[in-house]
C-alpha cells in the first residue's frame, strides 16, 4: 500500500476512535514515522480534498471521504447497505503492521461470510492489498466432530504425529500466510485450538500438530465469524484478541431500503441468468418486502431464486411469451399456507430445509436444455411437463428454507391421527407422516379459501378408490365436522381417499429408490454443496439414486428428516461432515469424498447397492469381496490405525460373525465400517489424553449372552492389537447393532 493511503486510512481509524481530529504528532507515533513526513502527506491529503484541517494549536486533521467509497455514490448505495461496516472492517484489516483481528457476529444468513469476502475484494480493488493476497476461508463447524482433524486442517500435521499421518501436511494457516484467514463458526474451535490461535495472533508463530521443535512463522490477518454471543462461545483469552467486533443486524432490524435494494439485486442477478426480461407483480413484491424471514438475507435470496425458477418454468410451458413475470403463486410453498397441495408440496415435505446456496449451474439453462432435448426425443407434452416440473422440484428442494416454518395446524393433525386410528389405518399398513402432512395442508388450504382448490368434481368421481380408503376419508370428514364445524364437500372427501390410497402403492410394487444423504450440522452449507457435487458426479448407471441434504442434530447426532426419508427410500450411504447415529450405513466424510479414494469407495458402495437391487436375480455381493471394500473404505477415513491390520483381524473371525448374525453383505460392510470409525474416534480421544467418554456401563439388554461374548472376545483382540480401550458397553452395543431387529 502507498504511504499516503496508509496515512489516510490511519487518520480514518483514529478519527473514529477519538472523534475530534488527529494531530500529526499522534499519527506519527501510531505509524512510527517521522512527524515531518506525516505532516507532508497530511497536507497533500488536504490539498487533494481527501482530508481537512482545523487551524489551532496543534493543528487537527479530519478525514473527508470514507476511503471505501472510491467507487462513487453509486457504490455507496450498494444494494447491501453495508458500507459503514465495511469501512470499519477495512480500517481494522489494514491497521499497521498486520491488521487487527475482526470478529463478525450475527444470526445465520445475515451475510457474515459475504462481508468478509467483500472486504477483501474491496481492499484488493483499491490496491490496499496486492492481487496475490491469499484469502482462505474455513468453516470450523465442518470438522467440529473431530477436533484433531480440525486442528490438523488448520495448523497442519507432522508425519508420524499419529497413526495414519504418513506424510507431512501443511495447514490452512500456512496457505493463508501473508494473507487473510477467515474462520466461520469460530466458536467451534476446541479450547486447545483457540489457544493455538491466540498464540498465533500474539506471537505470529505456530506448530503443526505433532511438532515439538522450532515454531513456524505465519503472518496472517484474521477474520472470525460466529452466530453465537461471543462472550459465551469463545475463551476470554481469544475474545480479547478481537479488538474489533462488528455485529451484522438481522434483516428485520435493518431499514426497509436495505430489503428493497437486496430484492432488486437478487432479481437483477436472476434476470441476468435467465437472459429474458423479468418483472414481478406488485403483490408479490410487497410480500417479499415484508414477510418474516428468519433465515435473513440467505433465505430472502433462496426464496427469490425459487420464485424465479417457477415463473421461468411457467413461461417455458406457455412458450411464445418472451417476458417472465413472477406472481404470488411462484413463491415457495411454505410461504403460502392457503395454497392447495401439489406434488411440489409433497416433495417439499419430504425434502425441505435444504439450504441457501442452491444447486450448481443455471436452473434456467437446465430447464431450457431439458425442454429442447425432450422435444428432440419427441416426448409427449405430459412427459415434458413432468420432467420440467421434476427439475424445478429438485431445485426447490435444494433451496427451500426451513420447512419447519411451514405452518400446519396441530388441531387438524390431531383429528387426522385420531380418525386414522379409529378407522383402522394400521390394518392396511399405516399412513406415512408425509401423507398425513400433505392431507393436513390440503384441508387447511381448503378451510382458508374453499374456492381455491378448484377440484374437478366430475373427473374425480370417475377415479376408483378402494372402499377402505373411502371409509377412512369419511371418518376424517365426520370428525372435522364434529370437532371443528368444518363440513367437507363430497369431492374433497373423495380427494382425501385418493391421497390415502396413493401412499400404499410404491412400497408394495417397487423396490424403494436408493438414497444418499449428505449431512452437516446446518443441513445448508456443506450438505448442500455436497448434494450438488454428487448430482454432477454420479456414475451414469446410478442416475436414479436420490440425493438429499439433511441437518444433523449436534447433540443427538440424529435427524428426523433422515428418519422420514428412510421410510420412503433405501439409504445406502451418508456423506458429509458429521457422522450420524445410524446402524449399518456407510459414512463417507466430505473431505474424503472429494479425493480419489473416497469417490472410489462411493462407487463401490453404489455397485454393492446395485447388486443388492438385483439380488433376486442371483447377482449379489460375494463375501470374498467384502474385506477389500472395507479396507478401501477405512483407508481414508481413519487416521489412528492401519486399516489393513484391522481387516486382517476381522477376517480371522468373519465366518463366525456371519454365521451368528446372518448379515447381508451390505449390512456386514456397514457394521465393520462402523466399528472401524468408532475405534478411530476412541483412539483419537485417547491419544489426545482426553477423558474417555463416560461409559454407561454394560447395557441393559436382552440379547443372547453368547453374542455379547463373541464381541467381547473380538474387541479384546482388537484392543491388544491396536492399543485401543473400548468402554465396557461396547460389546453389547456392537451386538445390538449387528442383530437384525
Ligand X SMILES: Nc1ncnc2c1ncn2[C@@H]1O[C@H](COP(=O)(O)OP(=O)(O)OP(=O)(O)O)[C@@H](O)[C@H]1O
- Selected from 53, 114, 329, 736, the binder of ligand X by CB under 6 A is 114
- Selected from 13, 24, 105, 108, the binder of ligand X by CB under 6 A is 108
Does residue 303 bind ligand X (CB under 6 A)?
no
Q: CA-CA distance, 34 to 38, in Å (whole number)?
A: 6
- Beta carbon of residue 129, minimum distance to ligand X (angstroms, whole number): 20
β-pairing, 216-217 with 205-206? antiparallel
Q: CA-CA distance, 72 to 80, in Å (whole number)?
A: 15
* Cβ-based nearer residue to ligand X, 156 or 298: 298
x/- track of binding to ligand X for residues 252-291 (CB under 6 A): ----------x--x--------------------------
* Cβ-based nearer residue to ligand X, 111 or 627: 111
- Beta carbon of residue 107, minimum distance to ligand X (angstroms, whole number): 7
Does residue 245 bind ligand X (CB under 6 A)?
no
Does residue 297 bind ligand X (CB under 6 A)?
yes
CB half-sphere exposure, 639, CA atoms < 13 A: 20
Q: Choose the binding region for ligand X from 42-50, 104-112, 638-646, 731-739 (rule: CB under 6 A).
A: 104-112
Does residue 301 bind ligand X (CB under 6 A)?
yes
* Cβ-based nearer residue to ligand X, 114 or 418: 114
Q: Choose the binding region for ligand X from 109-117, 409-417, 535-543, 595-603 (rule: CB under 6 A).
A: 109-117
Q: DSSP states of 470-513 as a string?
A: HHHHHHHHHHHHHHH-----HHHHHHHHHHHHHTTHHHHHSPPP
* Cβ-based nearer residue to ligand X, 119 or 479: 119
* Cβ-based nearer residue to ligand X, 358 or 676: 358
- Beta carbon of residue 349, minimum distance to ligand X (angstroms, whole number): 23
- Give Cα 553 distance to the centre of its chain: 12
- Selected from 50, 112, 610, 667, the binder of ligand X by CB under 6 A is 112
Q: What are phi and psi of 530, to 5 degrees?
A: -65, -40
- Give Cα 83 distance to the centre of its chain: 28
Q: DSSP states of 279-301 as a string?
A: EE-HHHHHHHHHS--TTHHHHHH
Q: CA-CA distance, 691 to 172, in Å (whole number)?
A: 28
CB neighbour class for 498 (10 Å; exposed up to 12, middle 13-18, buried from 19): middle
- Beta carbon of residue 428, minimum distance to ligand X (angstroms, whole number): 43
Q: Choose the binding region for ligand X from 46-54, 103-111, 341-349, 448-456 (rule: CB under 6 A).
A: 103-111
- Beta carbon of residue 533, minimum distance to ligand X (angstroms, whole number): 17
- Give Cα 582 distance to the centre of its chain: 19
DSSP 8-state assignment for residue 518 = E
Number of residues in contact with ligand X under rule CB under 6 A: 21
* Cβ-based nearer residue to ligand X, 82 or 542: 82
Contact 740, 707 (CB under 8 A): no
Q: Choose the binding region for ligand X from 110-118, 365-373, 608-616, 723-731 (rule: CB under 6 A).
A: 110-118
- Bridge partners (DSSP) listed for residue 183: 138, 224
Does residue 353 bind ligand X (CB under 6 A)?
no
Ranges within 157-186 binding ligand X (CB under 6 A): 184
- Beta carbon of residue 525, minimum distance to ligand X (angstroms, whole number): 7
CB half-sphere exposure, 454, CA atoms < 13 A: 4
Ranges within 10-39 binding ligand X (CB under 6 A): none
Does residue 110 bind ligand X (CB under 6 A)?
yes
* Cβ-based nearer residue to ligand X, 150 or 737: 150
Does residue 113 bind ligand X (CB under 6 A)?
yes
- Beta carbon of residue 495, minimum distance to ligand X (angstroms, whole number): 39
Q: What are phi and psi of 225, to 5 degrees?
A: -145, 145
Ranges within 426-465 binding ligand X (CB under 6 A): none
* Cβ-based nearer residue to ligand X, 285 or 447: 285
Q: CA-CA distance, 650 to 673, in Å (whole number)?
A: 11
C-alpha to C-alpha distances, 254 to 54, 86, 260, nearest whole angstrom = 35, 16, 11
- Selected from 24, 27, 67, 82, the binder of ligand X by CB under 6 A is 82
x/- track of binding to ligand X for residues 213-232 (CB under 6 A): ------------x-x-----
Q: Choose the binding region for ligand X from 76-84, 193-201, 202-210, 308-316 (rule: CB under 6 A).
A: 76-84
Rg over CA atoms, the chain:
30
Q: CA-CA distance, 497 to 491, in Å (whole number)?
A: 10
Q: What are phi and psi of 440, to 5 degrees?
A: -60, -45
Closest residue to bound ligand X by CB:
111
Helices 256-274 and 296-318 cross at an angle (nearest 10°) of: 40
CA-closest candidate to residue 669, choices 719, 601, 591 = 601
Q: CA-CA distance, 552 to 155, in Å (whole number)?
A: 27
- Beta carbon of residue 112, minimum distance to ligand X (angstroms, whole number): 4
DSSP 8-state assignment for residue 48 = T
Contact 255, 81 (CB under 8 A): yes
- Selected from 63, 298, 355, 665, the binder of ligand X by CB under 6 A is 298
SS (H, E, C) 212-244: CCCCEECCEEEEEEECCCHHHHCCHHHHCCCCE
Q: Choose the binding region for ligand X from 1-9, 102-110, 333-341, 576-584 (rule: CB under 6 A).
A: 102-110
Torsion, Cα 541 546 549 552, to 10 degrees, reads: -110
- Beta carbon of residue 79, minimum distance to ligand X (angstroms, whole number): 6
DSSP 8-state assignment for residue 583 = S
Does residue 356 bind ligand X (CB under 6 A)?
yes
Q: CA-CA distance, 185 to 233, in Å (whole number)?
A: 10
- Beta carbon of residue 224, minimum distance to ligand X (angstroms, whole number): 12
Does residue 393 bind ligand X (CB under 6 A)?
no
Contact 131, 317 (CB under 8 A): no
- Beta carbon of residue 117, minimum distance to ligand X (angstroms, whole number): 8
Does residue 111 bind ligand X (CB under 6 A)?
yes
- Beta carbon of residue 550, minimum distance to ligand X (angstroms, whole number): 16
- Selected from 99, 101, 109, 665, the binder of ligand X by CB under 6 A is 109
Q: Footprint of ligand X on this chain (CB under 6 A)?
A: 79-80, 82, 106, 108-114, 184, 225, 227, 262, 265, 297-298, 301, 356-357
Amino acid at each position: 500500500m502507498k504511504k499516503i493511503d496508509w496515512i489516510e486510512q490511519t487518520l480514518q481509524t483514529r478519527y473514529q476512535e477519538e472523534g475530534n481530529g488527529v494531530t500529526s504528532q499522534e499519527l506519527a507515533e501510531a505509524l512510527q514515522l517521522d512527524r515531518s513526513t506525516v505532516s507532508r502527506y497530511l497536507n497533500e491529503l488536504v490539498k487533494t480534498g481527501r482530508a481537512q484541517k482545523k487551524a489551532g494549536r496543534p493543528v487537527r486533521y479530519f478525514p473527508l471521504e470514507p476511503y471505501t467509497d472510491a467507487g462513487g455514490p453509486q457504490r455507496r448505495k450498494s444494494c447491501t447497505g453495508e458500507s459503514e461496516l465495511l469501512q470499519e472492517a477495512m480500517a481494522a484489516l489494514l491497521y499497521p503492521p498486520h491488521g487487527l483481528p475482526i470478529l463478525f457476529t450475527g444470526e445465520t444468513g445475515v451475510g457474515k461470510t459475504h462481508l468478509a469476502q467483500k472486504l477483501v475484494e474491496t481492499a484488493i480493488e483499491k490496491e490496499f492489498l496486492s492481487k496475490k493476497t491469499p484469502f482462505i476461508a474455513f468453516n470450523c463447524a465442518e470438522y467440529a466432530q473431530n477436533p484433531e482433524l480440525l486442528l490438523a486442517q488448520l495448523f497442519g500435521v507432522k508425519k508420524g504425529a499419529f497413526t495414519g499421518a504418513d506424510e507431512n501436511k501443511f495447514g490452512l494457516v500456512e496457505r493463508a500466510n501473508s494473507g487473510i484467514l477467515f474462520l466461520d463458526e469460530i466458536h467451534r474451535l476446541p479450547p486447545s485450538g483457540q489457544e493455538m490461535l491466540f498464540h498465533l495472533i500474539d506471537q505470529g508463530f505456530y506448530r503443526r500438530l505433532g511438532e515439538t521443535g522450532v515454531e513456524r512463522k505465519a503472518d496472517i490477518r484474521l477474520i472470525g465469524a460466529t452466530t453465537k454471543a461471543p462472550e459465551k462461545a469463545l475463551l476470554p483469552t481469544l475474545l480479547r484478541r478481537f479488538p474489533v467486533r462488528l455485529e451484522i443486524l438481522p434483516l428485520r432490524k435493518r431499514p426497509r431500503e436495505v430489503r428493497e435494494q437486496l430484492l432488486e439485486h437478487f432479481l437483477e442477478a436472476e434476470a441476468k441468468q435467465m437472459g429474458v426480461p423479468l418483472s414481478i407483480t406488485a403483490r408479490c413484491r410487497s410480500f417479499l418486502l415484508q414477510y418474516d424471514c428468519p433465515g435473513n438475507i440467505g433465505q430472502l435470496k433462496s426464496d427469490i431464486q425459487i420464485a424465479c425458477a417457477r415463473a421461468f418454468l411457467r413461461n417455458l410451458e406457455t412458450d411464445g411469451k418472451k417476458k417472465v413475470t413472477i406472481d404470488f403463486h411462484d413463491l415457495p410453498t411454505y410461504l403460502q399456507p392457503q395454497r392447495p397441495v401439489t406434488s411440489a408440496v409433497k416433495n417439499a415435505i419430504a425434502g425441505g430445509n435444504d439450504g441457501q446456496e442452491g444447486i450448481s449451474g443455471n436452473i434456467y439453462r437446465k430447464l431450457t436444455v431439458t425442454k429442447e432435448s425432450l422435444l428432440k426425443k419427441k416426448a409427449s407434452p405430459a412427459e415434458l411437463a413432468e420432467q420440467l416440473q421434476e427439475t424445478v422440484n429438485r431445485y426447490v428442494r435444494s433451496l427451500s428454507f426451513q420447512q419447519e416454518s411451514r405452518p400446519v395446524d396441530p388441531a387438524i393433525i390431531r383429528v387426522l391421527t385420531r380418525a386414522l386410528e379409529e378407522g383402522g389405518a394400521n390394518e392396511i399398513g399405516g399412513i406415512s407422516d408425509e401423507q398425513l402432512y400433505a392431507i393436513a395442508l390440503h384441508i387447511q388450504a381448503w378451510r382458508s379459501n374453499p374456492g381455491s382448490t378448484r377440484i374437478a368434481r366430475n373427473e374425480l368421481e370417475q377415479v376408483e378408490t378402494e372402499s377402505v380408503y373411502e371409509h377412512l376419508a369419511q371418518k376424517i370428514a365426520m370428525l372435522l365436522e364434529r370437532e371443528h364445524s368444518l363440513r367437507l364437500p363430497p369431492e374433497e372427501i373423495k380427494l382425501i381417499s385418493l391421497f390415502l390410497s396413493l401412499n400404499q402403492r410404491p412400497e408394495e410394487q417397487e423396490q424403494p429408490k436408493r438414497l444418499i444423504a449428505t449431512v452437516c450440522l446446518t443441513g445448508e452449507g456443506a450438505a448442500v454443496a455436497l448434494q450438488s457435487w454428487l448430482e454432477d458426479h454420479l456414475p451414469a448407471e446410478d442416475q436414479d439414486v436420490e440425493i438429499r441434504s439433511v441437518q444433523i442434530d449436534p447433540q443427538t447426532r440424529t435427524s428426523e428428516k433422515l428418519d422420514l426419508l428412510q421410510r420412503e427410500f433405501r439409504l445406502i450411504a451418508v456423506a458429509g461432515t458429521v457422522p450420524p447415529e445410524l446402524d449399518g450405513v456407510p459414512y463417507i466424510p466430505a473431505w474424503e469424498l472429494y479425493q480419489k479414494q473416497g469417490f472410489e469407495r462411493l462407487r463401490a458402495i453404489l455397485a454393492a447397492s446395485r447388486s443388492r437391487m438385483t439380488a433376486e436375480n442371483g447377482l449379489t455381493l460375494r463375501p470374498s469381496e467384502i474385506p477389500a471394500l472395507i479396507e478401501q473404505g477405512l483407508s481414508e477415513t481413519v487416521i489412528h490405525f492401519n486399516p489393513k491390520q484391522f481387516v486382517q483381524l476381522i477376517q480371522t473371525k468373519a465366518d463366525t460373525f456371519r454365521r451368528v448374525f446372518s448379515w447381508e453383505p451390505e449390512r456386514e460392510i456397514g457394521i465393520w465400517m462402523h466399528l472401524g470409525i468408532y475405534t478411530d474416534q476412541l483412539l483419537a480421544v485417547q491419544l489426545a489424553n482426553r477423558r474417555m467418554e463416560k461409559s454407561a456401563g454394560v447395557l441393559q439388554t436382552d440379547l443372547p449372552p453368547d453374542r455379547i461374548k463373541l464381541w467381547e472376545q473380538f474387541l479384546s483382540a482388537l484392543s491388544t492389537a491396536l492399543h485401543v480401550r473400548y468402554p465396557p458397553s461396547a460389546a453389547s452395543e456392537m451386538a445390538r447393532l449387528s442383530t437384525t431387529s
